[in-house]
Amino acid sequence: MITATVGTVVAFFAVLGLFLYLVTVFNGLIRLKVNIDKAWANIDVLLKQRHDLVPNLVAVVKGYKDFEQKTLTDLTAARTASLGAVSLSDKAQAAETLTGSLNRLFAVVENYPQLKAQQNFLELQKTLSDLESQVADRRSFYNDTVAAYNARIAQFPDVLLAGGMKLTRRDLFQAAEGEKGIVQVNLAAS
């Protein structure tokens, strides 16, 4: 009688424990999914700030009539492509291209000492450079979050719940290997 009572109570707590464990796992998976969306939103807001600053930069540089036009055209095209990107890999690729175009512009500006010394330009350059560093950090954070999520949905026992919740692997925020190009800057061009 005593053994049966004790057995029933312990079994009750064991089942309660299993239930609580499943709730913990379920909540953890939902939290990870939300974290990914939040981490992405935190990158997106910075990318948008960067897009908004590019026209200002172009306007400042355009003031110099003999400035290399191709650099400006490339930058504007990269911004347009970045704004139009929909999928994560497209956005990553577009962000990479925009970074390349900006770096190219900053490199070319080295040949224009007057422009380089202009206060407006310096401020924009600093803001864009800070944004770029922040984007890099948040991209790394986003990728860590995705990696944690991908690992979790593949591990036991989370994999059992993840299947039922129809959770699938998420992509990292990175440009496709073949699409990453080194920015070629011809300083002698101007």
Partner 1 sequence: MSPPALRRLGAFFFVLFLVSGGTPVFAYYSSYSSADQGRGILFCAAGLVGGVAAFFWGFAQLRTKRLMQDIPLSTVRAMAPGLVEISGSAVDWCPFEGPLSGRKCVYYEYEIEQYVSSGKNCHWETILSGNSKTSPFFIQDETGMVMVAPEGSKVIIPRAYQLETGVFTEVPGRISDFMDRRGVSCRSFFGFEKKLRFTERHLEPVDKVFVMGTCQESSARLTEPPSGATSGLCVAKGLRSSEVFILSDESQRELESSFGDHAFFGIFGGLALIGGCLYGLLNLLGIA
Nearer to partner 1 (CB atom), residue 29 or residue 98: 29
Of residues 109, 132, 133, the one with CA closest to residue 57 = 109
Q: Could you tell me which residues come within 8 angstroms of residue 148 by beta carbon, excluding any fewer than 6 positions away?
A: 32
CB 53 within 8 A of CB 128: yes
Q: Which is nearer to partner 1, 9 or 183 (CB)?
A: 9
Q: Which of 38, 189, 30, 32 is nearest to 109 (CA)?
A: 189
Give me the count of residues in the chain. 190
28 versus 103: smaller Cβ distance to partner 1: 28
Residue showing tokens 């380089």? 116
Please select the residue that binds partner 1; options are 32, 47, 60, 61, rule is CB under 8 A: 32
Lookup: tokens for 178: 């073949």
User: CB of 173 within 8 A of CB of 36?
Assistant: no
Q: Is 1 in the site for partner 1 (CB under 8 A)?
A: yes
Farthest-apart Cα atoms in the chain, separation: 98
User: In this complex, which beta carbon is closest to partner 1, that of residue 44 or of residue 110?
Assistant: 44
Measure the N-to-C terminal CA separation of the chain; round to a whole number of Å. Answer: 96
Number of residues lying near partner 1 (CB under 8 A): 32
Site for partner 1 in 11-30 (CB under 8 A): 13-14, 17, 20-21, 24-25, 27-28
**What whole-number distance in Å separates Cα of residue 49 and Cα of residue 43?**
10
Of 26, 35, 118, 185, the one binding partner 1 by CB under 8 A: 35
Query: Which residue, 123 or 179, is less far from partner 1 as judged by CB?
Result: 123
Binding mask 115-154 for partner 1 (x = CB under 8 A): ------------------xx--xx-xx--xx-xx---x--
User: Does residue 2 interact with partner 1 by CB under 8 A?
Assistant: yes
User: Where do contacts with partner 1 occur on this chain (CB under 8 A)?
Assistant: 1-3, 5-6, 9-10, 13-14, 17, 20-21, 24-25, 27-28, 31-32, 35, 38, 42, 133-134, 137-138, 140-141, 144-145, 147-148, 152
